[in-house]
Amino acid sequence: MKTIEWLGDSLRILDQTKLPVESVYLWTKSYEDVAGAIEHMQVRGAPAIGATAAYGFALGALAYEGSREGLDAYMEKVSARLESTRPTAVNLFWALRRMQDTLREARSVEDLAEVRKLLVQEADKIADDDRRMNRLLGEHGNALVPPKAAILTHCNAGSLATVDYGTALGVVRAAVAAGKEIKVYADETRPFLQGARLTAWELMQDGIPVTLIADNMAGFLMQQGKVDLVIVGADRIAANGDTANKIGTYSLAVLAHVHGIPFYVAAPTSTIDLKMAGGQDIPIEERAGKEIREFRGIPVAPADVPVYNPAFDVTPAKYITGIISEKGVVSPPYSVNFLKIMVRPS
């Protein structure tokens, strides 16, 4: 099932809040619909959010009814709304910047229909690039995976979090395709349960062996020697390699370090934000307390208990063995080695 699909005048989104119980689609017909779907996490995962926002931008232009002169100012409003949805994944801002650049390059194009066409083409290109990059990233990551491996992952960095194939799960898919004997341990990933609801479902759909564990079991599995390597995705990687990813990633990285287990981050270079010197600069989204107090409307805690709900944490670069990108595997020191790959074509 496709995470997102452009239908010419609307964007079809697989509603991830309903998985794995129901597989239902949302038809987003306006940029507001798209912003709502990102905010409510009906579509989530850094690269998927980026591509979705790009189509949201295109939908804004498609629905615009004013003159050519007024378009740029209107699109600033559209972009600001889409940017306001989620703060941590840099791919959202990266994709919207590409859309804004396309609009700027089209400033001499008088015909609105032509401008709209260029914007849809750019959104298609962002989506196509994502598909292509994930395959490349998967191949690079596969080189790090032994012929027989138990891989622990957190959250969902699979095809559901991207346009297709996935980043961390892209590496898993490439290793399976190469004939390796792979077993995945999926952390359930409290409180939104992306691991339980999405990673477990996605891998089972593909017939890849997966075992679900509660988040607090990872340390024990490592102690028992059941984990060969950890691979996670990323929402934003700072210039020094510090990595923001789903809350709980930091704990896993420290555990992996203590147990001498390699800990890899798999992400396209669009997730690297050289403007952020270190992890302390990365904005961390805080979500509503009810995500912890309830599950799908069922109370699991006292209704009025105070809650702190950061959606992401930052793993210091010193705990990351390597960063797997579409341009190859980057080793520490990241601040030096990022500069080398950022100029290299993929």
| Residue of 28, 42, 194, 315 interacting with ligand MRU (CB under 6 A) | 194
Span of 20-28, 118-126, 178-186, 232-240 interacting with ligand MRU by CB under 6 A: 232-240
Of 130, 235, 242, 273, which residue is the catalytic one?
235
Are 221 and 121 a contacting pair, CB within 8 Å?
no
CA neighbor of 154 nearest in space, from 285, 245, 29, 289: 245
Q: Interface with ligand MRU includes 44 (CB under 6 A)?
A: yes
- Is 142 annotated to bind a ligand? Reply is no
Task: Give the Å distances, CA to CA, from 343 to 14, 187, 194, 201, 338.
Answer: 35, 35, 34, 37, 9
Tell me if 141 is assigned to a ligand binding site: no
Nearer to ligand MRU, 162 or 325 (CB): 162
| 37 binds ligand MRU per the rule CB under 6 A | no
- The answer to whether 79 and 58 have CB atoms below 8 angstroms apart is no
161 binds ligand MRU (CB under 6 A): yes
| Phi, psi for residue 52 in degrees, rounded to 5 | -65, -45
Distances (CA, A) of 244 to 95, 123, 248: 18, 25, 10
Is residue 46 a contact point for ligand MRU (CB under 6 A)? Answer: yes
Amino acid identity at 109: V
Number of H-type helices and E-type strands within the chain? 12, 16
Query: Residue 163, SS3?
Result: coil
**Least CB distance from residue 41 to ligand MRU, whole Å?**
6
From candidates 167, 269, 321, 325, binder to ligand MRU by CB under 6 A? 167
**Residues in CB range of 148: below 8 A, 6 or more apart:** 180, 181, 182
To the question of whether residue 86 is assigned a binding role by annotation, the answer is yes
Give phi and psi for 272, each to the nearest 5: -85, 125
Please identify which residue in 10, 52, 85, 162 interacts with ligand MRU, judged by CB under 6 A.
Answer: 162
Residue 187 annotated in active site: no
Residue with smaller CB distance to ligand MRU, 73 or 308: 308
Q: Is the peptide bond before 47 cis (omega within 30 degrees of 0)?
A: no
Number of residues engaging ligand MRU in binding (CB under 6 A): 17
Interface of this chain with ligand MRU, residues 303 to 332, rule: CB under 6 A: 311
Which token pair is 336? Answer: 């030096």
Least Å distance between CB 165 and ligand MRU? 10
Rounded CA-CA distance 2/58 in Å is 19
Per CB under 6 A, contacts with ligand MRU among 240-269 are: 245-246
Q: Which residues belong to the active site? A: 235
List residues near ligand MRU by CB under 6 A.
44-47, 89, 155, 157, 161-162, 167, 194, 233-235, 245-246, 311
